[in-house]
Structure 1
Amino acid sequence: CNPWRDFPAHRSFTKIAAHRSRMTPTRRFALAVSLVAAMTVIGAVGYRLIEHLSILDSFYMSVITISTVGFGEVKPLSPAGRLFTIGLIVTGVGSAIYLFSVIGELVVEGRLREFLGKSAMNRRIHGLKGHVIVCGFGRFGRAVVEELSRKAVPLVVIETDAARQAELDIAEVLHVVGSALEDSVLEEAGIGSARAIIVATGSDADNVYITLSAREKNPKILIYARGDSDGGLRRLRLAGADQVVAAYQWAGMRIAASIIRPSVVDFLQLSVPGRESEVDLEEIRISRESPAAGKTIAAVERDNPRLRIVAMKRSDKPLEMIPGPETQIEPDDLLVVIGESDSLKRLAPL
């Protein structure tokens, strides 16, 4: 029996200790730096108001007081200035000691390199625009990441399992370790500037919640969500997902189609990642500077004999299958093209 545990002060200290144990080294370091910076500014303002020192001398006095280096005062302090200095020593030195202890902890635990690497990764993530966020790095999410990486699409992975961080580091994939259920994690992954998010966790309930959060934080984002049950698929659509996928259902349909229409499935295999073939299926966005802009489909196919345009999408209109040969190609049109790989490579820069 410990009667001390019933005192409010003990309960408060216990809560603080428990909260600190849950904080990551990055957050503890950021907190320590923020405390030292805040005390330095407060000290400078105090010396400026009390002793009427210049801005430089005020910051100088604040820094030497907090760091306790023992340098001399700029000028003799008044009684009010000395009382202020005592208070600054009591509070500021504690903040400085906390900062040094966090740095020492990072060094002793060998996390300094990890911390510096994570800081660099966070800066790279914050600099992204129009990237794709993948929530979940399981079998489904890994397949998505491999294909997006193969196409050099900028992406960020959110994964709750820290054990998979090493795999993501080896693959050189930008990632955030945490739960996409938390708003702070989505913001850390750049949800506000992302163009699409793929919700691929193993829980339908979590996927619905993440879909709602993503739509709230970025109303224009494209949301692709995985669902394992009929109810989950229905709720994902209601939550605002632009496209929902039942992974096991699609796999079963592909196997059945392979038995019933094997030649059709062989044709569809053109778009399967990792397949080596002389013929490929690709989509190409036409820019305003493209030589293809203003030409007809017949003219483009005539210039590239081993290439066919099988579909075209213009602005918000639905996808048009097998557009007419006299259809004129305009800037920002999206073309779905099939042909030899060399012909596609020549057309792709257009």
Structure 2
Amino acid sequence: MSFFKKLGKLLGWAESAKPEVDLDTELYEQLRPFRFPLIAVVVMMLFGAIGYMITSDFSLIDGIYQAGMTFTTLGYTEVSDISVAGRFFTIFYVLLGFVVFTFSIGLIIEVLKKGELTRLIKEKNMLYKIARLKNHYVICYHNEFTQELAKQFKQTYTPFVVVSDLPDFEKIAEANKYPFYVKCPPHSDLAFLKTHLSSAKGIISLSQNSADNIAIIVSARLYEKDIKRISPYSIITIANSELDSERFKKLGANTVVLATKLAAQRLSVVSVRPDMENLLEQYLYTRDQSIDIEEVKVPDESWVRFRRLKDVSFRQIANVSVIGIKDVNNHFLPMPKGDAMIGTGAKLLLIGTPEDIKEVKKIIKNKQIPDILNIKV
């Protein structure tokens, strides 16, 4: 380890995050046509300097200076008296310089006109931004679901990257104000590298085509094994039928949302209780969240196991209520009473502020009973 790396580690300096895909080769390929203008400038300067040295007996420095003023058409003044041969050489040199300059400008304009160089520079800057993300979501495919989900994520400050292979996806992403986006086939390894999936929290596939969603699920699980990830990805997708939903779950999806079923449930609730229509939007889906609902699994070594709900006193500790308990057999007990027992592998459905739920999650993970509770072991 070098001295500067040791010093940086001692001072706690973090190394700049680098993308997992290097676009330098593609950039160099696009910059290749720029070599001719650069070489032409050097050759013209040397040609002019030598010409003035021969025709007008200039020194090397005076020749370079005179050639520079003539080639760039500045024309401040002559360094020294120029001979007749030198004046003829100047006329030829100006005309030749005009030809070289015109050809070089045309070459540069042609490269910029294609737009590939500009696109690569923008993509490289985007990849560096994405490389700094942690615990973000990768949203695959662009459609109306992606647009709405992106709005919700931006309101709740959830980091995300949208990846799609649509022809005009860059313009679509900018029109929808996606903060991070990548144009690439979503199920490919290249997409996983560009979206920095190795540091992501999960992946969301929103294609209307079941085959696309299957490809994302399988590819993500295989990639998870290839990088030897410790914690598995949270894979979320949508389905058009119950059959597709079951198939996706068997392949490795954690959550499958049926849009038609979800809409029907919402309509059912609204038709029975019209006053509840905007309740979730007011309390769960707003930017400044006042309450949150989260399912928390009780670890095997937690002190909470085999205790009654009234004994754990989450409401007393952090003002969080348990509104449901799911046992190891997935039997759900809604609105449990204080005598309800928390068994092995149980999942608690908690409601409270995000900060309070975060505090309760820490308490549940502890092996020891909190000092605030007077419970005998």
Q: TM-score category by the smaller chain?
A: 0.5 to 0.7
Higher Cα radius of gyration: 2
Counterpart code for 1:197: I
Partner of 1:251: 263
> How big is the alpha-carbon RMSD for the aligned residues of Structure 1 and Structure 2?
4.8
Structure 2 residue corresponding to 1:148, chosen from 153, 156, 159 = 153
Amino acid of the structure 2 residue aligned with 1:117: K
Alignment check: 8 A CA contact 2:284 2:291 kept: no
Q: Say if 1:110 and 1:32 are closer, same or farther in 2 by CA, change over 3 A.
A: closer
Percent of counterpart pairs with the same letter? 19
**Aligned residue for 1:29?**
26
Give the aligned partner of residue 189 of structure 2: 183
Q: AA paired with 1:230?
A: E
Distance in 1 separating the partners of 2:311 and 2:181: 42
Question: Which AA in structure 2 matches 1:236?
Answer: F
Unaligned runs of 5+ in 2: 1-22, 47-104, 226-231, 297-309, 342-346, 360-377
Q: Provide the rounded CA distance (Å) in 2 between the counterparts of 1:239 and 1:101.
A: 55
Q: TM-score, normalised by structure 1?
A: 0.54
- Unaligned 5+ runs, structure 1: 1-25, 37-62, 73-99, 286-295, 328-332, 339-343
Higher relative contact order (CA 8 A, sep 6+): 2
- More off after superposition, 196-205 vs 123-132: 123-132
1:109-188 pair list within 5 angstroms: 109-110=114-115, 112-169=117-174, 171-188=177-194
2:242 to 218, 230, 234: 230
- 8 A Cα contact 1:132 1:196, kept in partner: yes
Q: 2:351 aligns with which of 309, 320, 337?
A: 337
Distance 2:356 2:207 in 1: 37
CA distance in 1, matches of 2:265, 2:241: 16
SS in 1 for 2:129: helix
Read off the aligned partner of 1:168 and give its amino acid letter: A
Q: Shift of the alpha carbon at 1:208? A: 0.7
Paired residue type of 1:107: L
SS at match of 1:181: coil
Equivalent position SS for 1:197: strand
Give the superposition deviation at 1:260: 3.5
| Structure 2 CA distance for partners of 1:308 and 1:232, relative to 1, 3 Å | closer
Q: Amino acid of the residue matched to residue 191 of structure 2?
A: V
Partner residue of 1:288?
Answer: none
Is this contact kept in 2: 1:311–1:337, CA < 8 A?
no
The aligned length equals: 250
The offset of 1:234, in angstroms, is 2.8
Change (3 A) 1:349 1:224: closer
Amino acid at match of 2:128: R
Question: What's the TM-score, normalizing by structure 2?
Answer: 0.51
Aligned residue for 2:182, secondary structure, equals: strand
State how far apart, in whole Å, the 2-side matches of 1:334 and 1:103 are: 64
2:325–2:332 Cα contact (<8 Å) kept: yes
Q: Give yes or no for contact 2:156–2:287 (8 Å, CA) kept in 1.
A: no
Q: Find the aligned partners of 2:213 and 2:239 in 1 and give their Cα distance.
A: 8
Partner of 1:198: 204
Q: Structure 2 vs 1, CA of residues 272 and 346 (structure 1 numbering), >3 Å: closer, same or farther?
A: closer
Aligned to 1:273: 285
CA distance in 2, matches of 1:101, 1:238: 58
